[in-house]
């Protein structure tokens, strides 16, 4: 067996997607593992990769956060202050390395999804691109020249504060840290908490989607002004509603009010704020891209 | 005469600061020119630099915005959609180059102030630092490894939307583009519009400073989550009030609520959110740093 493959793990709050391959046109095996306890989840991951052990150069891991992905830190590889039961302060990378003795690289889940879109997908020709997922959580990765931007820590842009009109939307917010931050107002669980039903069952015509699109547009405007991406790629369940992209784009233009006169915003916003090209695989492919490019 | 000096221009809405030198300990001449019309202002700038013409390697220009600082653009060197009378769509760089035939480099004013603090000042050892001015306008520069971050355009982070409690502060906002964006709520002219007197005459004990500190803290939290700077340097008149730094720091910690568990935020915030080290010269020194490092 020759070593021409890479492993990718996209660790999320509800499932861990694992794959073996070398790009979007070459995935030889993949599996979806439910996120239960760290011990049980890691065991299932290791069983999957054991099938390919001699073939793998290494494994990339993208994890939900907050997590410590600074390789110089003493808690590198840990999921840190997550509200997710069982997972706070878990040394996920250490647990994997103990069982699988090949190179690993680790990043935030949102950053790796951005990596794959920047390497193979919707932002392939852009030096600066923002990837955002709006689903169970909201997070982003800003990819600059093929690498996720990271400073003091990795980005946690889903938790920014945005205007919240309590008359229009009296919901107090669902974020256990910040109540009505962007994620606390607009992620899937926040929608479910408002209506007692899952966001995808609300129906495309439900009036809340206008409010939701407004929150997303406010956050995008803040990201555009603060990061100045050349493209914004948005994945996640919430954007599946077919009215969301055009509505969000229109609201971004309204809020921006031509302040930044660049044609990508004033005229070509349909090419500026776009869905992922790699679909549901962008996360796991990003984990593969991460380990491929860490060589 | 040997060419061992650099020129720096910090172009602001009320004045253009010009200097000749090679660093904070070596400024040989400087001048402050009121911002009137583009033609008159440029004429005064050129008179000043004419005194040093044989000595200069080049001139760095930091300008108020929005401006086009993308050297690949057809409107490179223009101040674009500014609300400032006479200055919209002004080819400031072209006007200077027509009269002074030496190399020029141009950046946003906020970015150059960040450059000098990162090269010589308060964020000198930090790979990722945010510089923010809160004065006549609000703007920021994010300096990554000695260069201002720029994507589609340069950053315009002063115009992000933040929560605005209209019961606490019924002011509608002073930004001609966005009403109550951060700049529209918290810059000097917004304070003046509320009280009919200049911000610096309000007195340190005026209750509005608590509201102002809250706006600044909300914006800083958004920047921290979106950019993850290793240090935040804040200049500008509004931060001169001696209670502002401690109050803003405390409010940032409250809003962050330990979500990012890094000690720079949880324990060492006094070293994390700091005033400039170069004082009122950080802008013009940054213009000098810009042309020095563009060689």
Q: In what order do the strands lie in the sheet with B15-23?
A: B26-34, B15-23, B5-11, B56-63, B104-108
Q: Residue B58 and residue B5: Cα distance in Å, rounded?
A: 8
pLDDT at B276 over 70: yes
What pLDDT does residue B280 have?
Answer: 82
Beta bridge partners, B198, equal: none
pLDDT at B1 over 60: no
Round the average pLDDT of chain A to a whole number and report it: 94
What pLDDT does residue B70 have?
Answer: 84
Scan residues 99-118 of A and list those with Cβ closer than 8 Å to B: none
What pLDDT does residue A1 have?
Answer: 55
Query: What pLDDT digit, counting tens, does each position of B164-194 carry?
Result: 999 999 999 999 999 999 999 999 999 999 9
**Which chain B residue is nearest to residue A80, measuring alpha carbons?**
B261
What pLDDT does residue A270 have?
Answer: 98
Q: Residue A159 and residue A174: Cα distance in Å, rounded?
A: 11
pLDDT at A41 over 60: yes
Return the number of CB contacts < 8 Å for A and B.
138
What pLDDT does residue A193 have?
Answer: 97
Q: Provide the 10 A C-beta neighbour count for residue B168.
A: 10
H or E element, residue B73? none
Touching check for A70 and chain B: CB below 8 Å?
Answer: no
Touching check for A221 and chain B: CB below 8 Å?
Answer: yes
Query: B123, B131, B164, B225: which to substitute to probe chain A, counting the most A Cβ within 10 Å?
Result: B225
Out of A80, A128, A149, the one facing B261 most closely (by C-beta) is A80
Q: Exposed/middle/buried for A23, CB within 10 Å: 0-12, 13-18, 19+?
A: middle
Query: What pLDDT digit, counting tens, does each position of A67-101 carry?
Result: 888 888 899 999 988 888 999 999 999 999 999 99
Q: Residue A180 and residue A190: Cα distance in Å, rounded?
A: 9
For range B135-141, the mean pLDDT: 89
pLDDT band at A2 (very low <50, low <70, confident <90, very high): low
Query: What pLDDT digit, counting tens, does each position of A188-220 carry?
Result: 999 999 999 999 899 889 999 999 999 999 999
Could you tell me the pTM of the whole model? 0.90
Min Cα separation A142/chain B (Å): 9
What pLDDT does residue B295 have?
Answer: 61
What pLDDT does residue A59 have?
Answer: 98
Query: What pLDDT digit, counting tens, does each position of B62-121 carry?
Result: 998 788 888 888 999 999 888 889 999 999 999 999 999 999 999 988 889 899 999 999
Do A151 and B127 make contact, defined as CB atoms within 8 angstroms? yes
What pLDDT does residue B9 have?
Answer: 98
Query: Largest Cα–Cα distance of chain B, in whole Å?
Result: 64
Q: Residue B141 and residue B149: Cα distance in Å, rounded?
A: 7
For chain A, percent of residues with pLDDT exceeding 70? 99
**Which chain B residue is nearest to residue A70, measuring alpha carbons?**
B262
pLDDT at B3 over 80: no
Letter string b/e over residues A266-290, b meaning 16 or more CB atoms within 10 A of that residue's CB: eeebeebbbbbebeebbbbbbbbbb
For range A115-132, the mean pLDDT: 96
CA angle, B144 then B146 then B152, to 5°? 50
ipTM of model: 0.90
Angle between helices A282-293 and A109-120 (to 10 degrees): 80
Contact A72, A122 (CB under 8 A): no
């Amino acid at each position: 067996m020759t070593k021409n493959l890479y492993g990718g793990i996209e660790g999320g709050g509800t499932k861990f997607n694992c794959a073996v391959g070398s790009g979007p046109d070459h995935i030889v095996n993949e599996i979806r593992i439910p996120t239960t306890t760290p011990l049980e989840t890691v065991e299932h991951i290791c069983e999957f990769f054991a099938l390919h052990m001699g073939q793998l150069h290494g494994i990339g891991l993208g994890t939900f956060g907050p997590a410590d992905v600074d390789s110089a830190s003493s808690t590198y590889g840990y999921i840190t202050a997550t509200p997710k039961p069982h997972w706070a302060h878990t040394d996920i990378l250490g647990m994997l390395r103990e069982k699988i003795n090949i190179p690993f690289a680790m990043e935030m889940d949102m950053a790796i999804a951005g990596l794959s879109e920047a390497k193979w997908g919707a932002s392939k020709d852009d030096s600066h691109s923002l990837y955002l997922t709006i689903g169970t959580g909201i997070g982003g990765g800003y990819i600059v020249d093929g690498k996720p931007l990271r400073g003091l820590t990795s980005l946690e842009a889903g938790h920014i504060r945005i205007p919240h009109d309590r008359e229009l939307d009296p919901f107090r917010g669902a974020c256990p840290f910040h109540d009505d931050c962007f994620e606390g107002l607009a992620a899937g669980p926040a929608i479910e908490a408002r209506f007692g039903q899952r966001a995808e069952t609300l129906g495309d015509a439900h009036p809340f989607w206008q409010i939701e699109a407004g929150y997303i547009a406010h956050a995008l405007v803040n990201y555009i002004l603060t990061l100045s991406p050349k493209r914004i790629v948005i994945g996640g369940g919430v954007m599946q509603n077919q009215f969301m992209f055009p509505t969000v784009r229109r609201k971004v233009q309204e809020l921006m009010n031509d302040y930044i006169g660049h044609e990508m915003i004033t005229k070509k916003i349909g090419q500026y704020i776009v869905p992922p090209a790699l679909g549901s695989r962008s996360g796991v492919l990003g984990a593969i891209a991460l380990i491929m490019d860490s060589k």
